[in-house]
Amino acid sequence: MIYLFYGTKDYEINEEIKKITKNQNEININKYDLNNVTFKNVLEDLETPSMFEGKKTIIADNANMFTTLTSKDSEDIEKYLNHINQDANLILIVHSEKLDTRKKITKLIKKIGIVKELNENVKRTNIVKQKLKDYNIEDKTIDLFLNRVGTNPLIIQNEIDKIKIYKNKDKNITDEDILNLTVKTVEIDIFKLIDYIVKKDKEKAIELYYEMLKMNEEPIKIIVILANQFRIMYQSKELFKKGYSEKDIAETLKIHPYRVKLALQNGRNYTAKTLLKYLNNLADIDIGIKTGKLNKDLALELFILK
């Protein structure tokens, strides 16, 4: 059988894969990233009989040949779609909201395989309740949990796994457990903080900054993350202007494609000149702190109020 899962909801995609591989021996499951290898490597594995009992499942991530992006793998995938190995499962993953329905290979896989879109929003509260169904946890505690860890389903799952390890015997999860066992990351609010800073909404920017400090985030760490996000938005914006695809930008900057996607989405609100100005200002602050000219606890606050 051949599957194609596409969309921006990585959590839901992973859940679909778990359903397929639920009863399989892990030794029969192999995963490839088509950003790093060609489909010929996948094809070789698909055509090699399993040395162990049971059907093989091959997962091919970043199958961008089904999007508007050009791919050297298009011809090879088309050949495979016309001669599928029935003794192996192939799961193709596309981290994009849409497929290119004009392409021959997209039309072909829709005829012979299972294609599923995973863009719809899933309520994070329901995810938490489902994952902790064997535990006693109040709604207000779930809200506290989500306020700390954010809405990224993969982060939610990782934090829930951590809670389960520590609460293996005690099935009651309290606010105190959430505060002690989970970590609130500054990355959750960083784009919001950037927006407030650029729009000169000093009151909201300072309020959010103080909230971060209350969560024991270090000012220097916030400065570094801010500068990093401004840099990625600026570089992604400039490369996109030159005709680079999201995949090309990710490869050039050596970062995950999803980070490029977020950078381009958020960067649309600002000019390249604005992004570069704030990036340079943060670089000056960093130098000032390291040389002792600026107080690390006041530098970012003054930058926001400037």
Half-sphere exposure of 48 (CA within 13 A, CB side): 12
pLDDT in tens, the chain (306 residues): 999 999 877 778 888 998 898 888 888 899 998 888 899 999 988 888 777 777 889 999 989 899 888 788 899 999 999 998 888 899 999 988 789 889 999 999 999 999 998 875 456 777 788 889 899 999 889 888 887 787 666 778 889 999 999 998 889 999 999 988 987 655 556 778 888 888 888 888 898 888 778 767 788 888 888 898 899 999 999 999 998 888 889 889 888 776 788 788 888 888 999 999 999 999 999 888 888 898 887 888 888 887
pLDDT computed for residue 188 by the predictor: 55
Q: Are residues 29 and 67 in the same domain?
A: yes
Same domain? 30 vs 131: no
Identify the helix (H) or strand (E) that includes residue 179. Answer: helix 175-181
Q: Are residues 106 and 168 located together in one domain of the fold?
A: no
In this prediction, residue 123 carries a pLDDT of: 63
CATH code of the domain containing 266: 1.20.272.10
3-state secondary structure of 272: helix
Residues 209 and 300 grouped into a single domain:
yes
- Residue 119 falls in which region: left (phi positive, over 0), alpha (psi -120 to 50) or beta: alpha
The residue out of 94, 117, 140 marking a domain boundary is 117
**Residue-level pLDDT at 120:** 54
Enter the pTM of the model: 0.46
Task: Please count the structural domains in the chain.
Answer: 3
Same domain, 174 and 249: no
Of 279, 273, 191, 211, nearest in space to 237 by CA: 273
200/281 same-domain check: yes
State how far the Cα of 203 lies from the Cα of 195, in Å rounded to an integer.
Answer: 12
At residue 98, the pLDDT reads 83
Q: C-alpha 76: how far from its chain's center? A: 28
Do residue 106 and residue 6 come from a single domain? Answer: yes
Amino acid type, 65: M
User: Do 37 and 135 belong together in one domain?
Assistant: no
Q: What is the pLDDT of residue 69?
A: 81
Which of 168, 184, 200 delimits the end of a domain? 184
8 & 83 share domain: yes
**Residue 5 pLDDT:** 95
Residue 143's pLDDT is 82
**Selection from 271, 269, 266, 302 nearest residue 285 by Cα:** 302
Residues 268 and 255 in one domain: yes
Residue among 177, 158, 156 nearest 167 (CA): 177
Give the pLDDT score at 186: 56
Q: Are residues 195 and 175 in the same domain?
A: no
What angle, 0 to 180 degrees and rounded to 10, lies between the N-to-C axes of helices 39-46 and 74-82? Answer: 20
Provide the CATH number for the domain around residue 65. Answer: 3.40.50.300
Cα gap 72→77, rounded to integer Å: 10
- The predicted pLDDT at position 270 comes to 86
The domain spanning residue 137 has which CATH number? 1.10.8
Residue type, 132: L
Do 238 and 277 have their domain in common?
yes
**What domain range is 58 assigned to?**
2-117
Report pLDDT for 91: 95
Instruction: Specify the pLDDT at position 151.
Output: 65
Burial class of residue 65, CB neighbours in 10 A (0-12, 13-18, 19+): buried
